[in-house]
A and B are shown apart, each in its own frame.
Chain A
Amino acid sequence: MTLRKYLVLAGVAVFAVTGDSLVSAGMKQTGRVALDRLPNIILVVFHPQIALGILFLLAFFACYIAALSWADLTYVLPTTSVSFILLTLVAKFILHENVSLTRWMGVVLISLGIGLVSQGPSLTPQPRRTPSGDCLAETASGRIEQ
């Protein structure tokens, strides 16, 4: 894993949190979307906060597909859940919100999950075939085994 790849994973986490927060704030301002007024669900994307949120979600998406091009889905998803920890730390130390013991337990569980997944390789080695048709498997260290 290079520094560039760690930055891409950090981008996934930060942009997702910012985008989700902006879309959520925008939806609270627009009010409930009724099923009998379906066109409203399309028009809400022009609300300034929702539009800005969508821009951040696009940045998240660019980082996300870049990460998926060199890492497993089951590696990328838990690793980028560091965003939930960031949100809790921002709530406690910047917004001075009261963070309950249950939420701190949640942060500990997420940290454990990230720690567990980051121990292993980021990509499942795919079997490769020789010209004669024999199947070769690449180990996590990059060594080729038959």
Chain B
Amino acid sequence: MTQLYAWGAVGTIVSTSTCGDVLLSRAMKQVGDVGELHRRSGWTMVLGRILRNPNFVLAILAMATAFYAMLFGLSWADVSLVVPASTSLTFVTNALAAKLFLHERVDHYRWLAAIFVAAGVFLLAL
């Protein structure tokens, strides 16, 4: 039963953190380069633009869910299972979601990179 809870937590972490990453990436592209924005208008303007972005707020909600799912997972299973399993799967789901929803140019190199990193993280956990 504990294993079922642990894998349920991994599934929740992967789906919510993918949603969070995609929403956050979209929000930050809408905000613009924070370095340039800071030089032009200061930190107050940067923070204001970030915090007023609806995608940023939704991303925080998704990431908070992922964080609490990780806490649940870590209390039921070893960190060597929960963190690598969720992280490696998230690399692949993020590449897919970035292509579908953010229209990023995910070429062969980026697919291979996502798969290599996911496989590498998985091997580190064995």
Query: Are the C-beta atoms of B119 and A109 separated by less than 8 Å?
Result: yes
Q: Which of B71-112 contact A (CB under 8 A)?
A: 71-72, 74-76, 79, 83, 90-91, 94-95, 98-99, 102-107, 109-110, 112
Which residues of A have CB within 8 Å of B122? 106
B22 within 8 A of A: yes
Q: How far apart are the CA atoms of A130 and B90 in the complex, in Å? A: 37
A119 within 8 A of B: yes
Instruction: Report A26 CB to chain B, min CB distance, Å.
Output: 9
Query: Which residue in chain A gives the minimum CB-CB distance to B121?
Result: A84
B32 within 8 A of A: yes
Q: Which of A83-116 contact B (CB under 8 A)?
A: 84, 88, 100, 102-103, 105-114, 116
A51 within 8 A of B: no
Query: Are the C-beta atoms of A106 and B120 separated by less than 8 Å?
Result: yes
Contacts A27-B71, A73-B102, A77-B94 given; does A108 touch B112 at CB 8 Å: no
B4 within 8 A of A: no
- CB-CB contacts of A10-46 with B at 8 A, as 1s and 0s? 0000000000100110011011110000000100100
Contacts A32-B75, A124-B104 given; does A70 touch B112 at CB 8 Å: no
Q: How far apart are the CA atoms of A128 and B94 in the complex, in Å? A: 25
The number of residues on chain B lying at the interface, defined by a beta carbon within 8 Å of a beta carbon of chain A, is 48
- CB-CB contacts of A110-136 with B at 8 A, as 1s and 0s? 111110110110001100000000000
B24 within 8 A of A: yes
B61 within 8 A of A: no
Which residues of A have CB within 8 Å of B116? 109-110, 112-113, 116
Contacts A32-B75, A33-B75, A106-B122 given; does A65 touch B110 at CB 8 Å: no
Query: Are the C-beta atoms of A117 and B35 separated by less than 8 Å?
Result: no
Instruction: Report A48 CB to chain B, min CB distance, Å.
Output: 16
Partner of A44, one of B25, B71, B76: B71
A interface, how many residues as a size bin?
35 or more
Query: Are the C-beta atoms of B126 and A103 separated by less than 8 Å?
Result: yes
Q: Which of B8-55 contact A (CB under 8 A)?
A: 21-22, 24-25, 28-29, 31-35, 50
Which residues of B have CB within 8 Å of A70? 33-35
A49 within 8 A of B: no
Query: Are the C-beta atoms of A68 and B114 separated by less than 8 Å?
Result: no
Partner of B29, one of A69, A108, A117: A69
Instruction: Report A69 CB to chain B, min CB distance, Å.
Output: 4
Query: Which residue in chain B gives the minimum CB-CB distance to A101?
Result: B123
Query: Which residue in chain A gives the minimum CB-CB distance to B109?
Result: A116
